[in-house]
Amino acid sequence: MGWGKLFFTVGSVLSSLVASQIVPTEVHNTGFNSSFVLTEAQIKAGDLSDTLIQNVQNVMNFDRTQMAFGGPNEDDFYTLPALTNSTTLKPGQVLKVERITDPSAYAIPANTGLSRIMYTTINFNGTVIPTSGFILWPYAARTFGQALNETAKAPVVVWAHGTSGFFGPQAPSAHRSLWYDNSGPFALAEAGYAVFAPDFAGLGIGKSWDGSEIPHQYHATPATAHDAVYGLRAALETFPESLDNNWVAMGHSEGGGVAWAVAEVLHYEESEFADLVAGYKGVVAASPTTRVFTGPGYFMAPTVAQMLKSIFPSFEFSDWMTPIGVARLNLIKEIQGGIGVFTQVLANLTENVKEDFKDTWYVDAFSKLGDAGHKDFKGPILVLQGTADTYVPYDVTLETVEEAWTNYPNNDLNFLAAEGVGHVPVLRATRQFWQRWIDERFEGKPLAKKGGVRTDVAPLRKDEQYTKIINSFPLWAGLPQFGYEVVLPV
């Protein structure tokens, strides 16, 4: 466009701003849509200090304000439809479709669109349960090769999210920025992929048809990987006009383990998923959890404990948690706190977690059943790992990768290590590499080198020049009184 035209366009936007009506503005705080307060009984039960009381209330109000339409407890989409014929209930069935999700309550990028589906999956022990997920639509489908193809369907990336929490309100499909914003789904959709993302079971729909609780089987990767593949099947069946059958799975942290476990499920259950194997192109596993109890103990013990009884019926919170830890875990369940509440209330390891919790048989037994990365898989897989990751240690991922190279030498496992990069930031720091890797899989390009390949990425400038932390997030400003925060919205 020429300068004259540009000037004209900017000029029209400005003149329309000048002409539009002035709306009274308001100061915008991040907890504006909630007034959560703990009751006296809850404060007593959790033995909470004044600081903890303040912190829990602030985090709860922030988290609630991040939810579109008040979140799963208030949004009708998450209401389970009655069963019409329970005898035919199979995993991968579509239960509900919201073809057009009102985007106005979300902080998603302009010219992306949202749909949500509810579908069946199985829990760790094979019971059929419902869960939900979203599809984030690109403006135009990514095309490969020379010519733009305006009628092309979108290639699919199954996005497996990292830890959001453990209860209904922490469904990424209910989060204004889909929980991972620019680090995951936004980046993928803006590149032209259609993003299908499961809410792992228990996040979104809290109860099954018989009224029983659906725990989020955290780090039980065979379960969460089934949420991903059954959800993909449901999504492909629902939107055949826009979704291509070719797909890649990608995930981070908890979801990095899930993505890796998707490659394991496709290997061991190839015939069950023959329909999906046909279009499968590979997996990107970023900062993947492959040894759950090498994560920080104050966090891993209670977050696995909250659901472990659903796998091992003899397990009680008191097997791992101190009496005050048990009381606090019960309190967090009662208020359905997310990851932010967990990290506040249970920050003190010695106070809340029993010193010898790792000696109980549950720890090894659960690791063996739940950890991704220790079985054969259907490649190719690209593993991304920052060397400065404090949640999923670099050494642990390297060990898992080397074990896979030794045990499955004919399989394709690429390892990309990013020097000096932390846990979530690895997704942004290495985007160009994983995006090209995904593109090449869709293009049908063979891998540069077969088998186990390591690539090291180092910062362009001196390491100390770079900021290592995430210190901002997409703040929804969708009410007229907050409109001043987005100066040129259209």
348 is a site residue for ligand NAG (CB under 6 A): yes
Residue nearest to ligand NAG (CB): 70
For residue 154, the surrounding DSSP H or E stretch is strand 154-160
Using CB under 6 A, which of 20, 85, 146, 472 touches ligand NAG? 85
Report the C-alpha gap between 268 and 263 in whole angstroms.
9
CA-to-CA dists, residue 170 to 50, 63, 195, 374, angstroms: 26, 9, 19, 29
Report the C-alpha gap between 421 and 407 in whole angstroms.
28
User: Of the two residues 25 and 350, which places its CB atom closer to ligand NAG in the complex?
Assistant: 350
4 is a site residue for ligand NAG (CB under 6 A): no
Q: Give me the 305-324 binding string for ligand NAG, x by CB under 6 A, dash otherwise.
A: ------x-x-----------
Size of the site for ligand NAG (CB under 6 A): 20
User: Of the two residues 211 and 313, which places its CB atom closer to ligand NAG in the complex?
Assistant: 313
Q: For the CA atoms of 417, 423, 425, 431, what is the dihedral angle to 10 degrees?
A: 40
Q: E strands along 80-153, which residues?
A: 94-98, 113-122, 128-137
**Widest CA span of the chain, in angstroms?**
74
CB of 323 to ligand NAG, least distance (A): 12
Report yes or no: 172 and 203 within 8 Å, Cβ to Cβ: yes
Using CB under 6 A, which of 20, 21, 51, 88 touches ligand NAG? 88
Angle ∠(462,467,473) on CA atoms, nearest 5: 155
Q: Is 406 exposed, middle or buried (0-12, 13-18, 19+ CB in 10 A)?
A: exposed
Q: Give me the 23-52 binding string for ligand NAG, x by CB under 6 A, dash otherwise.
A: ----------x-------------------
CB of 479 to ligand NAG, least distance (A): 6
151 is a site residue for ligand NAG (CB under 6 A): yes
153 is a site residue for ligand NAG (CB under 6 A): yes
CB of 406 to ligand NAG, least distance (A): 26
Report the C-alpha gap between 395 and 294 in whole angstroms.
10
CB of 448 to ligand NAG, least distance (A): 26
Q: Which amino acid is at 246?
A: N
Using CB under 6 A, which of 28, 36, 70, 98 touches ligand NAG? 70
From 83-91, 130-138, 354-362, 463-471, span contacting ligand NAG (CB under 6 A):
83-91
User: Of the two residues 368 and 449, which places its CB atom closer to ligand NAG in the complex?
Assistant: 368
Residue 255, both tokens? 């979801």
Report which DSSP code applies to 467: -
Instruction: Using CB under 6 A, list all residues that contact ligand NAG.
Output: 33, 69-70, 74, 85, 87-88, 105, 125, 147, 149, 151-153, 311, 313, 348, 350-351, 369
